[in-house]
């Protein structure tokens, strides 16, 4: 409980007014079946509470309360199916809040909590129905502005400016969770390398991944696993995972588990039969060189753009060497000719969400890294099977290599270092 209280205290240092965070409702898949529920990362970060539809109000303007929650009321009819819901009193006690109410009180009390706040910290656009309730409360306060000298929330601020700044720099417990999530990703990727073989299907490899994640305590995968064999590896978001793996294929596996609400996100690309062909290996070595060069840049003070530029520069020089691009590497990048083969950026923040919260720019500039940020480094080269400008031997090859990297005081730590990625190591892991 103390870690969540401390986070709320730190949020209060950043806000002037009221912040509202709310959990989604469970969403219906069909008839009586729901999609798996996953708590909102923002709400969980501040409370550790997993109930759907909960609303957290953090306020610097209320005379007595700083943190208040509204929770789903008990429902006698649902209890035999879902178990009892915690009462407001229990929630107040359990989470160390100043007050807690049933959600049925939200309409009456929201205006009271917003009164006197010149700023409302709230993410508009996540849930239109809830937006309407918040906007209605704000309008009612505005309607009283002739009568009351107290501020009303004329300014609505996205949590990127406040809470997400906190989420971006991880605390010790969060780093420990990221490490555990990285460790299960390592085990899962090794299992995938052992399972992928000509004649097997992509979904069989997916099953091997999921088995390791679940067996090792992951509540869920951090995103739908990509098991892309042969030409499927050139589709960035391929998640069909139905194809039969053929001899001579590369298999690109991009998968991560979510442990204690923290994600891992790792990609390895390996030969199904245990040995890279010449062209596969040449592309692979360019991507590997780029990945290592980009990771080497990660240290406090370096920017996200510098990490990307390092990867991209290395890849474009490699593409010229291999005859996939012709010309001066710097000019090719300036003209964006590389996008044919290297269409995506190199990094994203990693944390509770796989593409974690936090701004990538500061004062209009690429953001400088600070210790305890976590990011992926994931360069890739993808040659479409239909690319008739590419030398034929490279068509249909897709390679990405992705690791999870923590910024440390002295540089960085690769949390997923243990997963094979050198050519010889990979070939050995696949043949085991
Ligand atoms: N797996 C999603 C990504 O790599 O960004
Ligand atoms: Mn990934
Ligand atoms: Mn990623």
Q: How many degrees, rounded to 5, is the angle at CA 146 between CA 117 and CA 150?
A: 25
Q: What is residue 146's predicted lDDT score, i.e. its pLDDT?
A: 87
Q: Which CATH superfamily is domain 2-166 in?
A: Creatinase/prolidase N-terminal domain (3.40.350.10)
Atom of ligand 1 nearest to the CA of 223: 1
- Fold of the CATH domain 169-431: Creatine Amidinohydrolase (3.90.230)
pLDDT at 170 over 80: yes
The count of other CB atoms within 10 Å of the CB of residue 332 is 20
- String of b and e for 127-162 (b: at least 16 CB within 10 Å)? beebeebbeebbeebeeeeeeeeebbbeeebebeeb
Domains 2-166 and 169-431 share a fold: no
Q: In angstroms, what is the span from residue 401 Cα to ligand 1's centroid? A: 11
Q: Is 223 in the pocket of ligand 1 (CB under 6 A)?
A: yes
Q: What is residue 432's predicted lDDT score, i.e. its pLDDT?
A: 64
Mean pLDDT value across the chain: 97
Q: What is residue 147's predicted lDDT score, i.e. its pLDDT?
A: 87
Cβ burial, residue 384 (10 Å; 0-12/13-18/19+): middle
The count of other CB atoms within 10 Å of the CB of residue 60 is 17
Question: What would the mean pLDDT of 345-364 be, rounded to a whole number?
Answer: 97
Which residues carry out catalysis?
32, 237, 254, 265, 344, 348, 355, 378, 382, 400, 402
pLDDT at 194 over 80: yes
**Residue whose CA is closest, atom 4 of ligand 1?**
265
Domain assignments of the chain as residue spans, ordered by start: 2-166, 169-431
| pLDDT tens digits, 35-69 | 999 999 999 999 999 999 999 999 999 999 999 99
Q: In angstroms, what is the span from residue 265 Cα to ligand 2's centroid? A: 5
What radius of gyration, in Å, describes the C-alpha atoms of the chain? 25
Tallying the residues shown for the chain, one arrives at 432
Q: What is residue 148's predicted lDDT score, i.e. its pLDDT?
A: 86
| pLDDT tens digits, 226-278 | 999 999 999 999 999 999 999 999 999 999 999 999 999 999 999 999 999 99
Ligand 1: residue of 266, 347, 376, 404 to mutate (most ligand atoms within 8 A of CB) is 376
Q: In angstroms, what is the span from residue 234 Cα to ligand 3's centroid? A: 16
| pLDDT tens digits, 369-381 | 999 999 999 999 9
Q: Is 254 in the pocket of ligand 1 (CB under 6 A)?
A: yes
The pTM assigned to this predicted structure is 0.96
Atom of ligand 1 nearest to the CA of 254: 1
Q: In angstroms, what is the span from residue 401 Cα to ligand 3's centroid? A: 10
| pLDDT tens digits, 376-417 | 999 999 999 999 999 999 999 999 999 999 999 999 999 999
Number of H helices, E strands in the chain: 13, 21
């Amino acid at each position: 409980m103390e870690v969540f209280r401390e986070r709320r205290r730190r949020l209060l240092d950043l806000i002037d007014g009221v912040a509202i965070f709310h959990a989604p409702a469970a969403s219906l898949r069909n008839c009586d079946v729901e999609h798996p529920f996953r708590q909102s990362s923002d709400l969980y970060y501040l409370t550790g509470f997993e109930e759907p539809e909960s609303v957290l109000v953090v306020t610097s303007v209320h005379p007595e309360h700083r943190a208040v929650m509204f929770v789903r009321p008990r429902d006698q009819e649902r209890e035999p199916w879902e178990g009892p819901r915690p009462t407001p009193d229990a929630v107040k006690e359990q989470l160390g809040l100043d007050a807690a109410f049933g959600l049925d009180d939200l309409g009456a009390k929201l205006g009271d909590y917003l009164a006197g706040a010149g700023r409302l910290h709230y993410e508009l656009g996540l849930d239109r129905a809830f937006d309407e309730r918040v906007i209605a409360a704000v309008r009612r306060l505005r309607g009283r502005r002739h009568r009351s000298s107290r501020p009303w929330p004329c300014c609505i601020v996205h949590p990127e400016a406040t809470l997400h700044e906190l989420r971006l720099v991880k605390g010790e417990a969060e780093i420990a969770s990221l490490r555990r999530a990285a460790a299960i990703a390592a085990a899962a990727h090794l299992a995938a390398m052992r399972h992928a073989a000509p004649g097997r299907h992509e979904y069989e490899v997916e099953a091997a991944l999921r088995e390791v994640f679940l067996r090792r305590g992951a509540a869920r995968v951090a995103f739908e696993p990509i098991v892309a064999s042969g030409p499927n590896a050139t589709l960035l978001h391929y998640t069909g995972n139905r194809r039969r793996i053929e001899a001579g294929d590369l298999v690109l596996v991009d998968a991560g588990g979510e442990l204690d609400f923290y994600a891992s996100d790792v990609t390895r690309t390996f030969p199904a039969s245990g040995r890279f062909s010449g062209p596969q290996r040449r592309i692979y070595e360019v991507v590997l060189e780029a990945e290592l060069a980009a990771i080497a840049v990660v240290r406090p003070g370096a920017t996200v753009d510098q990490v990307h530029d390092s990867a991209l520069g290395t890849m474009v020089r490699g593409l010229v060497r291999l005859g996939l691009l012709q010309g001066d590497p710097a000019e090719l990048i300036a003209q964006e000719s590389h996008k044919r083969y290297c269409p995506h950026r190199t990094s994203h923040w990693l944390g509770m969400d796989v593409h974690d919260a936090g701004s990538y720019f500061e004062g209009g500039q690429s953001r400088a890294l600070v210790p305890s940020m976590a990011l992926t480094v994931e360069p890739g080269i993808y040659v479409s099977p239909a690319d008739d400008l590419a030398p034929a031997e490279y068509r249909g090859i897709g390679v990405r290599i992705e690791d999870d990297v923590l910024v440390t005081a002295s540089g960085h730590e690769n949390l997923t270092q243990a997963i094979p990625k050198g050519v010889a190591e990979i070939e050995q892991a696949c043949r085991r």
